[in-house]
Amino acid sequence: MRERDLDQLMVIEQYSFPTPWKRSMYEQDLHANSRSRFYVVSHEDTGELAAYIGSWFIHDEAHVGTIATKSEYRGRRFAEQLLAYTALQGLNEGLQYVILEVRVTNNAAIRLYERLAFSQVGLRRGYYSDTGEDALLMTCHDLGGLASRLTINEGH
């Protein structure tokens, strides 16, 4: 991800989350956080931003903090590809697992994560301050298996 992606990212962010991250949060991670890893998928011909993921590589984990796909690109496996790419980068940096939180009502995301070998390992009650909704805590310890799902070439 580059700063030039932020205008398009913020549009996706606004439509994807009840309480979107502020642009300054992305800028901070891009410029001043050596542990952050933010990746995007852009349309090959138009350069339009289709999906993004943001994570932090801390100790032995990749903690996914955000992932979203623009509505017209949903169903094209971009979120899967971003998770696979994150896993590949995590393997390259010696990480052991990927961890994330997901709203208990986000059934589509939960199904995706389960299909990608994530397991539910906990519940964070009232995790989402905007709605008080609980979050499932999910992990994937098979980074190699997850990374093997990567089919998008870097740079596309």
- CATH code (residue 60): 3.40.630.30
Q: Is residue 67 part of a domain?
A: yes
Percent of the chain at pLDDT > 90 equals 89
| 101 flagged as catalytic | yes
- Residue 111 within any structural domain of the chain: yes
For residue 152, tell me if it sits in a domain. no
Cα 86 to chain centroid, rounded:
8
Cα–Cα separations (whole angstroms), residue 156 to 8, 14, 71, 95? 16, 24, 19, 25
Using one digit for the tens of pLDDT, what is the confidence trace for 92-116?
Answer: 999 999 999 999 999 999 999 999 9
Is position 53 within any domain? Answer: yes
pTM over 0.85: yes
Q: Over the stretch 27-69, which tens digit does the pLDDT of each residue have?
A: 999 999 999 999 999 988 888 999 999 999 999 999 999 999 9
Specify the pLDDT at position 153.
Answer: 64
Can 154 be counted among the known catalytic residues? no
Catalytic-role residue among 39, 93, 113, 154: 113
Does the residue 7 lie in any domain? yes
> What is the count of structural domains for the chain?
1
Q: Is residue 96 part of a domain?
A: yes
The strand pair at 36-42 and 119-128 is best described as unpaired
| Structure confidence at residue 156 (pLDDT) | 43
**Mean confidence (pLDDT) of the chain:** 94
For range 73-99, the mean pLDDT:
96
Q: Which of 26, 101, 127, 128 does the annotation list as catalytic?
A: 101
Residue 65: predicted pLDDT: 96
Instruction: State the residue range of the domain holding 63.
Output: 3-147
